[in-house]
Structure 1
Amino acid sequence: MKAKTISISALFLCMPMSLLLAQNTQDTLKGEKKIDEVKIIGNSKKGSESNIITTQKKAVEVIERVGSVQLEKQGIGDVSVAVTKATGSQKQEGSGQIFIRGLGDRNNSTTINGLPIPSNDPMYKNLDLSIIKTDMIDFVGLEKVYQPKLWGDMSGANVDIVTKVYTGKPYFKVNLGSSVNTNAIRKNNFYLQDGPDYFGFKQINRPSNARLATQGYAFSTSWNNKERLTPINSNLGVDFGTNFKIGSQGRLSIFGYGSFDNDYTFVEGTIGSSYNNTGSALKDLYGQEYRYLTNTTGLLNVNYRINPNHSINYSSNYIHTTEQKLGNYSGYIRDVNELLNENQERIEVANLRRALYKTNDLFINQLRGEHKLSDPLKIIWNVGYNRLDSRRPDRQQNISVFNTETGNNYFANSNPGANQRYFDKLIENDYVGDLHAEYNFSDDLKVTLGYSGRMKDSDFRAYQYNFRILQPQGNYYLDPQNYDGFFNLNNYSTGNLFQISTFWGDIKDPQQALKPQYYQSKLFNNAGYANIEYKFNDKFTGQLGLRYDNLDQEITYMTAIFSNGGIINKNYSKLLPSLNLKYAVNDKNNLRFSASKTYTKPLLIELAPYEYEEIDELSFGNVDLNPADNYNVDLKWEWFPNRSEVISVTAFGKYIIDPIARVTVNSSSNSVSFVNTGDSGRVFGVEAEVRKDLYQVNNTRFYTFLNASYINSQQDLNNDKVVAENPNSRVSVDFIKDKDKMQGASDFLANVNLGWEQKWGDKNAFDFVLSYSYISDNIYALGYQTKGNIVDKSINTLDAILKLKFASGLGISFTGRNLINPDYKRVQANDNGDVTVRSFKKGMNYGVGFSYEF
């Protein structure tokens, strides 16, 4: 590991040398200065539709981008929705995670300005894209075809978010907006847990070990629900841009962005249900969920163009997000309310309350530069430091039972974890960098050599305090609307109502009981790469590349699953070739072919033997999980009728060795884990995209941008392989069949957008866009024995946005989202029929916004 640390550190040490070269190199050709000035002007419009398509047309590798201009017209506020507007992409319900070409979170990667960034949630590999605001980006690139400058851990696509570099006249802009969710606004009372505040900056710390040891019950927040303000969403944002001339050739440009927004939602329906392999209910619950989100974002991007040959850019991005979710559920929970009367009728109702508070603080800092040292040689470097502080402070759970015959409420005594408070914290420090040189041997031949390095330290710690009930049912009074009446310091002090314990024992033994569950990871990634681009003639260009990736990961853990702890050592070396060919049939038509090898590394949470408990499932990592190798091929035709139009069709295929999937394991509970399901899997499909002006005359334009994907997937399911390759874990499966679809892959995806653009007078504009999306059924988790797959059913969504811009600087927008208001439904697809495990409507959102640009 020392060698790897030194190699990555050497990259950071090289940066001052590059800065020195930038200062000392002199311009010699005035003509070059004029050409570079033209390039700078082009960069100022790189988020426009015409520039997006021009770049796609000229590039040798396949490029697919969604620009800021298109996003603004559609009123899209975050990157997760922006990505779904690209071909073959879908968003997973309930998160900002993206599936691309049927492949989910672990198969994709996320970069900002070309450098990888950490996830804000330990459950996922990729950053929740919904927390990145589109106002601060130039475009989002979907790199579905591999080339060696990309990091090799991807098989679906890499999502590259390019932050805005400002060039143009100085400006200052203010944005104000408000919206309502129809479900939330109809509630007479909107409830959340006690503790968190409106802006989301209040942190709730767990009680110190000393207070728990001396006082026992030392929690500062209440168990009881708290009524909140009228659930009206709001947003406030400011952004500005300016630039200064420095010397005869230099220019300093500054872009700044800051915003705060919040979001209230409410859903009601079947939410927490689960069933065993015989179809009998483990949980059958009807619930209500109140949810409140905040997002505070700040970005500063400073670009220093030293001269036409040298530029340096620094960006710093701070994102603070919170999520509060309060769920109240009632119905049946096995082992909690199984009491029957003399007629064998169930006479108990289970009541489950679960309150979640999650906070994330993410710092993304990058320093990068480009230096043209001579006509043929260019040096490009990029280094970054990211820090993540992600917490779930004071997650609360209560389970009580109501006896319909006696009218009494009481706790379920069988499970000490039924009533609990939970605190966790994940701290990650992530150092990453890339350095490469491009050398043009001639107008036809360019060679790129580079190095990438990453050091990432992850430290996860969790504390769960279980409240064990000591008295028999009926010996105490319980009000389910006032859990504080039972769980309080006075009742704890008596010593005969309840005790507080962790997985390691009673808190009265603090040295043993108050140890955290934890896992810690140290990841080193070193890579060298080379790429040759050769222009055979005016029509035919090819790229041949090779990347060598070495990953060294050590995970140390001590959890409830393995109380004695352990160490996982994983070391992978991957050789990743790639080929990209482009044939320009004529000025308006391209044919492209690409082939490559990549890999998929298991996520940290998929390896670490730690249990995550949700309402309807419990998931845990598998220490024996292995990476998958992916072989990818693409064939694409593009037609560019006009400067702002493109029509394309792509056929693609992927062959996957040792595919990874989420599976339901053999157990009496509804537990899921992760395994290499079989020897191989495959995905193939066809994508089509159209961006076309339907009608245009004078200042009136009707246009469409639409795309659709058909995806066919299959993976081997081999029980014997799982048994043989998982000797150290407790994962056991019994697949229903020997082949099935890939987890998360939908057969059909479609996006249809229709727009009307009207301009009049001096810089007055009107835009109206209708956006429709369709996602077909997809597997959430593979089943076993007679228990069917867990399947997310198809979804149709419709959004509408109307925007007005006036020459005075005033802007007005009206939005309507989720206008169809579909039923979000998840079923267990048993042989004797589907069983619904989740079903609810999200409600429609209506909003209005104002902006003014000075």
Structure 2
Amino acid sequence: MNFRKLSIAVLFLTTSGTLFYAQEKNDTVKKEKKIEGVIIQGTTKKGTEANIISVQRKSVEVIERVGSVQLEKQGVGDVSVAVTKATGSQKQEGSGQIFIRGLGDRNNSTTINGLQVPSNDPLFKNIDLSIIKTDMIDFVGLEKVYNPKLWGDMSGANVDIVTKVYTGKPYFKVNLGSSVNFNAVQKNNYFLQDGPSYFGFEKIDQPSKNAIVNQGYVFKTSWRNQEVNNPFNTALNFDFGTNFKIGDQGKLSIFGYGGFDNSYEYFTGTTGGAYDGQDNPLRIYNNAEEFKYTTNTTGIVNVNYRINPNHNINLSSNYIHTSEQKLGNYSGYNRDYYDNDPSQERFITQQRRATYRVNDLIANQLRGEHTLSEPLKISWNVGYNRLDSKRPDRQDNVTVFDKQQNYSFFASSNPGANNRYYDQLLENDFVGDLHADYKLGEKAKITLGYSGRYKDSDFKATQYNFRILPAQGTYFVDPNNYDSFFNLGNYQTGAFFDIVTFRGDIKFSPETALLPQTFTSEMTNNAGYINVDYKFTEKFTAQLGLRYENLMQKLTYNTAILQGKINRDYNKILPAFNLKYSLNDQHNLRLAGSKTYTTPLLLETAPFEYVDVDESTIGNVSNYPSDNYNVDLKWEWFPKKNELISLTAFAKYIQNPLARTTINSSSNSVSFMNVGDTGRVFGLEAELRKDIYDSGNTRLYTFVNGTYLNTEQELDNEKITKENQGSGFSASFIKDKDKLQGASEFLANANIGVEHKWGGKNTMDLVVSYSYISDNIYALGFQNRGNMVDKAFSTLDATLKFKLNSGIGFSLSGRNLINPYFQRVQENPLTGNELVARKYKRGTGIGASVSYEF
């Protein structure tokens, strides 16, 4: 085992250490001390609205939480949607990735119980929050203001998912649900690729080297699409909790959750649009369709042992298996495959892509809290995460249809136009935290801590390209039956196609040709931090902190683009302060400032090209971290226990901002680079949680928030050319300044709910939720082409739930009820036109479920 990995593991396992996430908060006024103690003991209601607001009111640090009780009422099933209920957050369309305060995946971080977890997808830094079920959690915390207990690699926010620790009465609950997406069920013929199974556990192996060399075409799955009957979504899950007394003071509590759900979706419309400066199409699939099928199998066990009031140990193990099938048929014009007839009067380019992705993530954590004496508390938290992410048997085909002759032929002699692709990312992630809190009388507390992380990543990818041998016009291709052309018999004749990789021909140089593209990363991060909380008066409390981080990364790569090694070593000193002034029991003023940094992602650095239908993305070995300076000013008003009104002004100054941009190349590829010297964000956030009517057994309430963002970053062509000599990339921006990529100018969420109780424990909840996201830049423009912009859109959801004394529950839900178009356009600054790049509707969903708790 690597020495650094071993040293970190030994350190964490032989010391009593750091709290999984600093929950202990300073009191605002003396009379709150007894209330604080009740909250610490009453862990069964962490996710209630009243407790969420109470913790926020008392905390020295600026925190924002979304509790499990409110999420259940709104029918929110996964954490990605839960986070969008917080102020300033938006979900990227088509994924579980989150933008917070205009800053996307690269700028945010995700933790479970305070410990970092890896992404389940090599394309992203953060885990897809949509795969984590809200039934497993107590609450989701958003830390948009940095404090030194957090890792410094963030500029947007840290999303902390706190899993459920059960301490109530024993119970067992089972839930069965079903739903439909009208786009999917109204499709007469619903298709997916051959190979994957209903539950998403089917293993599709890459052909062995010996089989490829000795036999040639040995792929076990066909190219033929498989029809699916009854594309209805289903969900089955259970959860339970129980407690056992151990001795006079001990208590063992166990919470468990297990579930499976799936989802069928269907999109039709336009995709792949790209244009030159004269509005002429470079690529446009104006007759496109996508079939999408996803599964999620999740299990978690959380065991909590309260030895006595001074000592507590918790063990949790979480397994998440997800799969995604996406089958796309795209018809239109693509100059890269066939550059004649852009108006499609005679020739139409047809592309088929079938993608199967499987992810297995295991997150294990062991943590403890120990009060050794009245002033001293030691807390520790260690974790091991294992990720296995695969894209087995991705299939691509491209043909051209001749409308006059009524036949199809392969589009290009380029072997990559027809291919099968396999990749795998394996990651082992060791992470831990240790800190001690020491109180100095009634006014001060000092926190000293250490955090460590070691992660190794191993990525391999092989793409088998099929080089077409016969001349165009001498053969016929059936796009509905590619197996009639690509088969063992045709390969063995030597007259139809050869199998090649980017390294060469398998027939003539198998040892070289079958070497995969690879990159490996070994990352070690060590950090020490100190926090001092000091209560100057009963109303004014200050927290000053400092964190030092040393980040080392060894990257080795051997791809179609580059071969080499990079060793990087960064030292970051990150100061932070939080000031809180309580005007009275209901009003707080807060001021916070900090320095953080943002590192490029692994696939943004590794020189590997990932080709999708819409774009081709290439990592850039020349990019480097950016530094961020953050300041927040916030006013909070707590009229009642369930109510909150707040207003926040914030600003961020960014040195050497990173951004996605189109590089100068004939292929219009996208990469990532430090695009300018500076960038900045100014913003305002407003939040309202208010009871409109509360009398007897009926309550009418609302939850509204909105965010305004003003962003800008410098764009410097000369800087990019100078700093990217290692990669050879350059850019030709059409402006010297522009908005930050991904930042919407305005975000809003509005919820209105009714809860009614009768006959003891019978309850009814009705919640209607509306969200709005304004325009935002998807990718920066270049040369004489404008920005790619995701246009504004709105969503409307509704949930009606009943819980009865008998333990039976019912729910009805409607999703995406107004069903707007999602539209991405390419702006043209010369003509003023907005040219469609993507346009489709997600479809409305209706669902119902029944549960029984006993």
Give the TM interval when normalised to the shorter protein.
over 0.9
User: Is the 1:283–1:616 Cα contact (8 Å) retained in structure 2?
Assistant: no
The answer on 1:614 being equivalent to 2:589 is: no
Residue correspondences, number: 836
Counterpart residue type for residue 275 of structure 1:
Y
1:665 Cα deviation (Å)?
Answer: 1.1
Counterpart residue type for residue 615 of structure 1:
V
User: Is the 2:237–2:260 Cα contact (8 Å) retained in structure 1?
Assistant: yes
- TM-score w.r.t. the length of structure 2 is 0.96
Counterparts of 1:432 and 1:655 in 2: how far apart (Å)? Answer: 30
Counterparts of 1:365 and 1:345 in 2: how far apart (Å)? Answer: 55
1:2 Cα deviation (Å)?
Answer: 7.6
Counterpart residue type for residue 189 of structure 2:
N
Query: Please, which of 737, 743, 746 is the counterpart of residue 745 of structure 1?
Result: 743
Counterparts of 2:545 and 2:231 in 1: how far apart (Å)? Answer: 53
1:346 Cα deviation (Å)?
Answer: 4.3
User: Is the 1:277–1:784 Cα contact (8 Å) retained in structure 2?
Assistant: no
Counterpart residue type for residue 544 of structure 2:
L
Tell me what 2:594 maps to: 596
Counterpart residue type for residue 488 of structure 1:
N
Tell me what 2:235 maps to: 235
Point out the more displaced range, 721-730 or 482-491.
Answer: 721-730
Counterpart residue type for residue 375 of structure 2:
P
Q: 1:148 to 1:176 in 2, by over 3 A?
A: same
Counterpart residue type for residue 290 of structure 1:
F
> What secondary structure sits across from 1:273 in the alignment?
strand
Tell me what 1:324 maps to: 325
Tell me what 1:26 maps to: none
> What secondary structure sits across from 2:261 in the alignment?
strand
The answer on 1:91 being equivalent to 2:95 is: no
Q: 1:181 to 1:391 in 2, by over 3 A?
A: same
Counterparts of 2:610 and 2:797 in 1: how far apart (Å)? Answer: 34
Counterparts of 1:834 and 1:39 in 2: how far apart (Å)? Answer: 54
Q: 1:794 to 1:90 in 2, by over 3 A?
A: same
Counterpart residue type for residue 349 of structure 2:
A
User: Is the 2:18–2:381 Cα contact (8 Å) retained in structure 1?
Assistant: no
What pairs with 1:193-204 in structure 2 (closer than 5 Å)?
193-204=193-204
1:478 Cα deviation (Å)?
Answer: 1.3
Tell me what 1:30 maps to: none
Counterpart residue type for residue 359 of structure 1:
V
1:369 Cα deviation (Å)?
Answer: 0.2
1:107 Cα deviation (Å)?
Answer: 0.3
Tell me what 1:445 maps to: 444
Counterpart residue type for residue 494 of structure 1:
T
Counterparts of 1:751 and 1:446 in 2: how far apart (Å)? Answer: 38
> What secondary structure sits across from 1:119 in the alignment?
coil
Counterparts of 2:448 and 2:17 in 1: how far apart (Å)? Answer: 18
Counterpart residue type for residue 211 of structure 2:
R
Counterparts of 1:235 and 1:298 in 2: how far apart (Å)? Answer: 14
> What secondary structure sits across from 1:846 in the alignment?
strand
Query: Please, which of 689, 709, 712 is the counterpart of residue 710 of structure 2?
Result: 712
> What secondary structure sits across from 1:720 in the alignment?
helix
1:570 Cα deviation (Å)?
Answer: 1.5
Q: 1:361 to 1:522 in 2, by over 3 A?
A: same
1:753 Cα deviation (Å)?
Answer: 0.1
* Cα displacement string for residues 34-80 of structure 1 (whole angstroms, at most 9, x for unaligned residues): 99984554211010000000000000000100000000000000000
User: Is the 2:17–2:380 Cα contact (8 Å) retained in structure 1?
Assistant: no
> What secondary structure sits across from 1:9 in the alignment?
helix
Tell me what 2:800 maps to: 802
Counterparts of 1:404 and 1:17 in 2: how far apart (Å)? Answer: 71
1:147 Cα deviation (Å)?
Answer: 0.5
User: Is the 2:17–2:435 Cα contact (8 Å) retained in structure 1?
Assistant: no
Counterparts of 1:126 and 1:498 in 2: how far apart (Å)? Answer: 41
Tell me what 1:645 maps to: 643
What pairs with 1:473-552 in structure 2 (closer than 5 Å)?
473-508=472-507, 509-552=509-552
- TM-score w.r.t. the length of structure 1 is 0.96
Query: Please, which of 624, 630, 633 is the counterpart of residue 631 of structure 2?
Result: 633
1:10 Cα deviation (Å)?
Answer: 3.9
Counterparts of 1:412 and 1:782 in 2: how far apart (Å)? Answer: 30
Tell me what 1:372 maps to: 371
Tell me what 2:153 maps to: 153
> What secondary structure sits across from 1:271 in the alignment?
strand
Counterparts of 2:578 and 2:278 in 1: how far apart (Å)? Answer: 51
User: Is the 2:244–2:251 Cα contact (8 Å) retained in structure 1?
Assistant: yes
Tell me what 1:669 maps to: 667
Counterparts of 1:106 and 1:505 in 2: how far apart (Å)? Answer: 35
> What secondary structure sits across from 2:253 in the alignment?
strand
1:610 Cα deviation (Å)?
Answer: 0.3
* Cα displacement string for residues 101-141 of structure 1 (whole angstroms, at most 9, x for unaligned residues): 00000000000000000000000000000000000000000
What pairs with 1:49-448 in structure 2 (closer than 5 Å)?
49-285=49-285, 286-339=287-340, 346-448=345-447
User: Is the 2:580–2:590 Cα contact (8 Å) retained in structure 1?
Assistant: yes
Point out the more displaced range, 441-450 or 471-480.
Answer: 471-480
1:400 Cα deviation (Å)?
Answer: 0.6
1:412 Cα deviation (Å)?
Answer: 1.8
User: Is the 2:17–2:436 Cα contact (8 Å) retained in structure 1?
Assistant: no
1:670 Cα deviation (Å)?
Answer: 2.6
The answer on 1:792 being equivalent to 2:793 is: no
Counterparts of 2:75 and 2:257 in 1: how far apart (Å)? Answer: 17
Q: Which residues of structure 1 form unaligned runs of 5+? A: 20-33
Counterparts of 1:36 and 1:50 in 2: how far apart (Å)? Answer: 13
Counterparts of 1:340 and 1:617 in 2: how far apart (Å)? Answer: 22
1:338 Cα deviation (Å)?
Answer: 3.7
Query: Please, which of 662, 687, 690 is the counterpart of residue 688 of structure 2?
Result: 690
Tell me what 1:23 maps to: none
User: Is the 1:37–1:308 Cα contact (8 Å) retained in structure 2?
Assistant: no
* Cα displacement string for residues 603-622 of structure 1 (whole angstroms, at most 9, x for unaligned residues): 10110000011101000111
> What secondary structure sits across from 2:60 in the alignment?
coil
1:12 Cα deviation (Å)?
Answer: 2.4
* Cα displacement string for residues 557-588 of structure 1 (whole angstroms, at most 9, x for unaligned residues): 011111xx100111110000000000000010
Q: 1:300 to 1:15 in 2, by over 3 A?
A: farther
User: Is the 1:223–1:483 Cα contact (8 Å) retained in structure 2?
Assistant: yes
Counterpart residue type for residue 619 of structure 1:
T
Counterpart residue type for residue 334 of structure 1:
R
* Cα displacement string for residues 464-515 of structure 1 (whole angstroms, at most 9, x for unaligned residues): 0000000001212211110000000000010010000011111122210000
User: Is the 1:413–1:468 Cα contact (8 Å) retained in structure 2?
Assistant: no
Q: Which residues of structure 2 form unaligned runs of 5+? A: 20-33
> What secondary structure sits across from 1:586 in the alignment?
coil
> What secondary structure sits across from 2:415 in the alignment?
coil
1:732 Cα deviation (Å)?
Answer: 1.2
Counterpart residue type for residue 50 of structure 1:
A
Q: 1:279 to 1:567 in 2, by over 3 A?
A: farther
User: Is the 1:11–1:434 Cα contact (8 Å) retained in structure 2?
Assistant: no
1:730 Cα deviation (Å)?
Answer: 2.8
User: Is the 1:76–1:134 Cα contact (8 Å) retained in structure 2?
Assistant: yes
Question: What is the aligned-residue identity percentage?
Answer: 65
1:336 Cα deviation (Å)?
Answer: 2.9
* Cα displacement string for residues 427-450 of structure 1 (whole angstroms, at most 9, x for unaligned residues): 000000000000001111000000
* Cα displacement string for residues 316-342 of structure 1 (whole angstroms, at most 9, x for unaligned residues): 00000000000001111114334459x
Tell me what 1:755 maps to: 753
Counterparts of 1:225 and 1:340 in 2: how far apart (Å)? Answer: 29
1:284 Cα deviation (Å)?
Answer: 1.2
1:273 Cα deviation (Å)?
Answer: 2.1
Tell me what 2:23 maps to: none
Q: 1:268 to 1:363 in 2, by over 3 A?
A: same
* Cα displacement string for residues 395-421 of structure 1 (whole angstroms, at most 9, x for unaligned residues): 000001111111121112331100000
Counterpart residue type for residue 437 of structure 2:
E
1:289 Cα deviation (Å)?
Answer: 0.2
- RMSD between superposed Cα atoms in Å: 1.6
Counterparts of 1:16 and 1:680 in 2: how far apart (Å)? Answer: 43
Tell me what 1:24 maps to: none
Counterparts of 2:714 and 2:35 in 1: how far apart (Å)? Answer: 55
Counterparts of 1:170 and 1:665 in 2: how far apart (Å)? Answer: 59
1:228 Cα deviation (Å)?
Answer: 1.1
* Cα displacement string for residues 673-703 of structure 1 (whole angstroms, at most 9, x for unaligned residues): 0010111000011000000000111001000
